[in-house]
Structure 1
């Protein structure tokens, strides 16, 4: 390692490398890293008992670099709770909720193209 790099603070050096990595891959946003831990990290989490879209929090993490965490009391929405393994069964009609909805009954989030594809998850 040359002297210039040795004198740079590690955080600045890491950020510089990260920006070069994103530029080389033509990424507009940072990819997400996910890990499991028993220790509660500093960051944003949904409030217990309040439904809040986990996808919106993941989007915030991606756009703003925020740390977001979920656990069995803080998972946001039933769909997120189910897909993260905190709930045993999905909400009724989840395949329609994630895709096109049911006219007159529920709006679809359109995360997945069709109910059939959603069922395969």
Structure 2
């Protein structure tokens, strides 16, 4: 469960940051909450079916549903978002969220140069299917420990639930605070990574990668052009493993937030930004 003291310290952290939206926790469960936001069930997909030519790709994309898009609904409506191997919505997202392994070869072409002789030109986010394959082989999320990957605000976690990762959605000034609190806590100038990936790769896939390596790293993301429509203008993601997040909260009393240094000036800019975007409480 989330310790009540963590929830209280999170409120203090958000006040320091000037962020009026609580973070989203990522966890895995065999139970899908009622009224959760997520994809409809799609045609069966797997590498084996793909190699046999048995996947209905038209059916797969007929009910396309983006992980970041469903999280956006959960953020707006204070609810829960989900994805599973059956209810996947996106053939890339279902891999990055560790629901299926290995990835479909289709993604290697779709994200890069497309399929020669077809209308699918590719997204051109990487220069070749080979480059994409190298990326996929590296991030390679572990097998999911439960049926569903779930995303929900901290305040919705019950006594028997605890997030594996913590996601902040924030603009640059707030990200400044998150970044520096991470380096202050870890003492590691390399404690924040910004690797290439889809929106969901940087909030699940890469955090899992670093966790499996035994590295406590935060991951800055939100640079996926396809996911930008599900995020606020100027907004990025900042994801930290739960173990690191607890340490960041414990380090708050000694951090820059309690000094008359540079942060008060940044905090004024945060207030100005909130006013500009009409997001004042």
* Per-residue deviation, residues 29-53 of structure 1 (Å, max 9, x unmatched): 4321112222221211211113211
Deviating runs (4+, > 4 A) in structure 1? 17-21, 95-98
Supply the distance in 1 between the matched residues of 2:15 and 2:75 (Cα, whole angstroms). Answer: 16
TM-score, with structure 2 as normaliser: 0.30
Q: How much has 1:55 moved relative to structure 2?
A: 2.0
Q: Is structure 2 residue 38 aligned with structure 1 residue 45?
A: yes
Structure 2, unpaired ranges of 5+:
1-6, 43-62, 115-119, 140-281
Structure 1, unpaired ranges of 5+:
1-13
Higher relative contact order (CA 8 A, sep 6+): 2
Q: How much has 1:20 moved relative to structure 2?
A: 5.5
Supply the distance in 1 between the matched residues of 2:76 and 2:135 (Cα, whole angstroms). Answer: 26
Instruction: Tell me the residue number matched to 1:102.
Output: 113
1:32 aligns with one of 24, 27, 31: 24
More strand by share: 2
Instruction: Tell me the residue number matched to 1:22.
Output: 14
Q: Is structure 2 residue 99 aligned with structure 1 residue 86?
A: yes
Q: How much has 1:118 moved relative to structure 2?
A: 3.7
* TM-align CA RMSD: 3.4
TM-score, with structure 1 as normaliser: 0.59
Q: 1:41 to 1:89 in 2, by over 3 A?
A: same
